Structure 1
Amino acid sequence: MAVFSGSRRHFLTTSSVLTGLSLVPAAAWAGTEKALPQKRTTSLALGDVRLLPSPFKTALDVNHTYLLTLEPDRFLHNYRKGAGLTPKAEKYGGWENDTIAGHSLGHYLSAISLMYAQTGDATLKARAAYVIDELALIQGMQGDGYVAGFTRKRPDGTIVDGKELFAEIKAGDIRSAGFDLNGCWVPLYNWHKLYTGLFDAQTFCGLNKGVVVATGLGHYIDSVFAALNDDQVQQVLNCEFGGLNESFAELHARTGDARWLTLAERMHHNRVLDPMIKREDKLANIHSNTTIPKVLGLARLYEITGKADYHTASDFFWERVTGHHSYVIGGNGDREYFFEPDTISRHITEATCEHCATYNMLRLTRFLYSWQPDASRFDYFERAHLNHVLSQQNPKTGMFSYMTPLFTGAERGFSDPVDNWTCCHGTGMESHARHAESIWWQSADTLFVNLYIPSTAQWTTKGASLRMDTGYPYDGGVKLAVTALRRPTRFKLALRVPGWAKTAAVTLNGKPAQAVRDGGYLVIDRVWQAGDKIALDLPLDLRLEATSDNTGIVAVLRGPMVLAADLGPVETPFKATDPALVGDNILAGFEAVDASKALYRTVGIGRPGQLDFVPFYSQYERRSALYFKAFSEADWKVEEAAFLAEQERQRDLAARSVDVMYLGEMQAERDHNLESNVSWPGTYRGRNGRDARQGGFMSFTLKVKPGPLVLQATYWGDDRREYDIVIDGEKLTTVTHKTAPKPGVFFDEEYPVPERFTAGKTHVLIRLQPGDRSTGMIFGMRLFTAVPTNTKVET
Structure 2
Amino acid sequence: MLPSPWADAVERNREYLMSLDPDRLLHNYRTSAGLAPKGDVYGGWESDTIAGHTLGHYLSALALTHAQTGDEESCRRANYIVGELATVQAAHGDGYVAGFTRKRPDGEIVDGKEIFPEIMAGDIRSAGFDLNGCWVPLYNWHKLYTGLYDVADLCGNRTALPIAVALGDYIDRMFAALDDEQVQTVLACEYGGLNESFAELYARTGERRWLRLGERIYDNKVLDPLTRGEDRLANFHANTQVPKLIGLARLYELTSKPAQGAAAEFFWDTVTKRHSYVIGGNADREYFSEPNSISKHITEQTCEHCNSYNMLKLTRHLYSWRPRSALFDFYERAHLNHILSQQHPETGGFSYMTPLMSGTAREYSEPGKDAFWCCVGTGMESHAKHGDSIFWQGDDALIVNLYIPAAANWRPRGASVRLETRYPEEGSANLTFTELAKPGRFPVALRVPAWAESVDVRVNGKAVAAKVEDGYVTVSRRWQAGDRLAIAMPMRLRIEPTADDPDMIALLRGPMVLAADLGPAEEEFDGAAPALVGSDLLAKFVPEAGSATAFATQGIGRPGDMRFVPFYSQYDRRSAVYFRRFTDAQWQQEKASYAAAAARQADLAARSVDIMHLGEMQPERNHDLEADISYPVTYRGRNGRDARTGGFFEFDMSVRPGPLVLQATYWGDERPREFYILIDGERIAAQRLAHDEPGEFIEREYAVPETLTKGKTKVRVRVEPKTGDTAGPVFGMRLMSAKGPTRI
TM bracket (short chain):
0.7 to 0.9
Q: Does 1:659 align with 2:615?
A: yes
Alpha-carbon offset, residue 224 of structure 1: 0.2
Give the superposition deviation at 1:750: 4.7
Answering whether residue 558 of structure 2 is matched by residue 610 of structure 1, we say no
**Bigger mean CA offset, 558-567 vs 701-710:** 701-710
1:111-130 per-residue CA deviation (whole Å, 9 max, x = no partner) reads 00000111111111111110
Cα separation, 2, equivalents of 1:703 and 1:520: 60
Residues 428, 488 of structure 2: 8 Å contact kept: yes
State the alpha-carbon separation in 1 of the partners of residues 135 and 525 from structure 2.
36
Please list every run of 5 or more consecutive structure 1 residues that lacks an aligned counterpart in the other structure. 1-50, 661-670, 676-688, 759-763, 789-795
Q: How far is 1:509 from its partner?
A: 0.6
Tell me the distance in 1 between the aligned counterparts of 2:349 and 2:668.
41
1:124 aligned to 2:67? no
CA distance in 2: counterparts of 1:59 and 1:408, whole angstroms: 26
Question: 2:279 touches 2:333 (CA, 8 Å); kept in 1?
Answer: yes
Is residue 700 of structure 1 aligned with residue 648 of structure 2?
Answer: yes
Which residue in the other structure is 1:490 paired with?
441
**Hey, what does 1:526 align to over in structure 2?**
477
Whole-Å Cα distance in 2 between the matches of residues 644 and 376 of structure 1? 46
1:744-777 CA-partner distances (Å, limit 9, x unpaired): 999421579999568xxxxx9733579xxx99x9
Q: Does 1:592 align with 2:543?
A: yes
Aligned: 1:464 with 2:415:
yes
Matched, 1:512 2:463: yes
2:542, 2:551 within 8 Å by CA — same for their partners in 1?
yes
Cα deviation per residue 1:232-270 (whole Å; 9 max; x = unaligned)?
111100100000000000011011111100100010111
Deviations along 1:467-491, one digit per CA (max 9) or x if unpaired, are 1111110111211111110032211
1:783 aligns with 2:732: yes
Q: What amino acid is aligned across from residue 66 of structure 2 in structure 1? A: Y
1:596 match: secondary structure: coil
Find 1:111's aligned residue among 52, 61, 72.
Answer: 61
- Per the alignment, in what secondary structure is the counterpart of residue 341 of structure 2? coil
| Superimposed CA distance per residue, residues 561-602 of structure 1 (whole angstroms, 9 cap, x where no aligned partner) | 001100101111101121100000011110001463511100
> Aligned in 2, Cα 1:115/1:690: closer, same or farther, shift over 3 Å?
closer
Task: Give the conservation status (yes or no) of the 8 Å contact 2:643–2:727.
Answer: yes
**Whole-angstrom distance in 1 between the partners of 2:340 and 2:126:** 35
Aligned to 1:160: 110
1:144-183 superposed matches below 5 A: 144-183=94-133
Counterpart mapping for 1:33-72 below 5 A: 51-72=1-22
Are the counterparts in 2 of residues 243 and 297 from structure 1 also a CA contact under 8 Å?
A: yes
Looking at structure 1, the residues matched to 736 and 520 of structure 2 have their Cα atoms a distance apart, in angstroms, of 28
Do the aligned residues in 1 keep the contact of 2:653 with 2:715 (CA within 8 Å)? no
Q: 2:486 aligns with which of 525, 535, 539?
A: 535
Task: State the shift of 1:420 in Å.
Answer: 2.1
8 Å CA contact retained: 2:305, 2:339: yes
Q: Counterpart in 2 of 1:331?
A: 281
Deviations 1:268-288 (A, max 9, x none): 111110111100001000010
Deviation at 1:507, TM superposition (A): 0.7
TM-score by length of structure 1 reads 0.82
**How far, CA to CA, are the matches of 1:320 and 1:372 in structure 2?**
18
- Aligned residue for 1:522, secondary structure, equals strand
**Please, which of 383, 402, 409 is the counterpart of residue 432 of structure 1?**
383
Q: Which residue of 2 aligns with 1:680?
A: none
Report the equivalent of 1:18.
Answer: none
Q: Secondary structure at the match of 1:473?
A: coil
Q: Hey, what does 2:621 align to over in structure 1?
A: none
Q: What do you get for the CA RMSD once the two structures are aligned?
A: 3.4
What letter corresponds to residue 171 of structure 1 in structure 2?
A
Shift of 1:787: 10
Per-residue Cα deviation, 1:335-374 (whole angstroms, up to 9, x for no partner): 0001110000010111000000100000000000011110
2:608 — aligned with what? none
Contact kept? 2:351, 2:362, Cα under 8 Å:
yes
Distance 1:712 1:209, change over 3 A: same
Q: Distance in 2 between matches of 1:744 and 1:635?
A: 22
What's the CA shift for 1:783? 2.4
Distance 1:134 1:648, change over 3 A: farther
**Offset of residue 736 of structure 1:** 6.6
Q: In structure 1, the residue corresponding to 2:162 is in which secondary structure?
A: helix
**Which residue of the partner structure matches residue 332 of structure 2?**
382
* Structure-2 change in CA distance of 1:733 and 1:303 (3 Å): same
Offset from partner CA, 1:384-438 (integer Å, 9 cap, x none): 0000000000011000000001111111001122322100000000000110000
Offset at 1:658? Answer: 3.6
Q: CA deviation at 1:517?
A: 1.8
C-alpha contact (below 8 Å) 2:654/2:714 kept by paired residues: no
Q: Distance in 1 between matches of 2:594 and 2:209?
A: 61
Residue in 1 that maps onto 2:629: 673
Decide which of 394, 402, 421 is 2:344's aligned counterpart.
394
For 1:284, what is the secondary structure of its paired residue? Answer: coil
Over 3 Å counting, the alpha-carbon distance change for 1:388 and 1:737 in structure 2 is closer
Q: Secondary structure in 2 aligned to 1:140?
A: helix
State the distance in 1 between where 2:258 and 2:582 align: 47
Q: Deviations over 1:700-749 (max 9, x none)?
A: 348999999976244989xx99985247xx337612799x9x99999421
* 2:315 aligned residue: 365
- SS state at 2:487 partner: strand
Q: Which residue of 1 aligns with 2:619?
A: none
8 Å CA contact retained: 1:711, 1:782: no
Q: Percent identity?
A: 53
Instruction: Go from structure 1 to structure 2 and tell me whether the alpha carbon gap of 1:155 and 1:731 turns closer, same or farther (over 3 Å shift).
Output: same
TM-score, length of structure 2 as denominator length: 0.87
> CA separation of 1:397/1:231 partners in 2, compared to 1, >3 Å: closer, same or farther?
same
Secondary structure at the counterpart of residue 514 of structure 2:
strand
1:417 aligns with 2:367: yes
* Aligned residue among 452, 463, 468 for 2:403: 452
SS of the residue aligned with 2:547?
helix
1:272 corresponds in structure 2 to 222
Alpha carbons of structure 1 residues 567 and 649: separation in structure 2 relative to 1, 3 Å: farther
Inter-CA distance 757–540: structure 2 relative to 1 (3 Å threshold): farther
Query: Which SS does the other structure have where 2:732 is aligned?
Result: strand
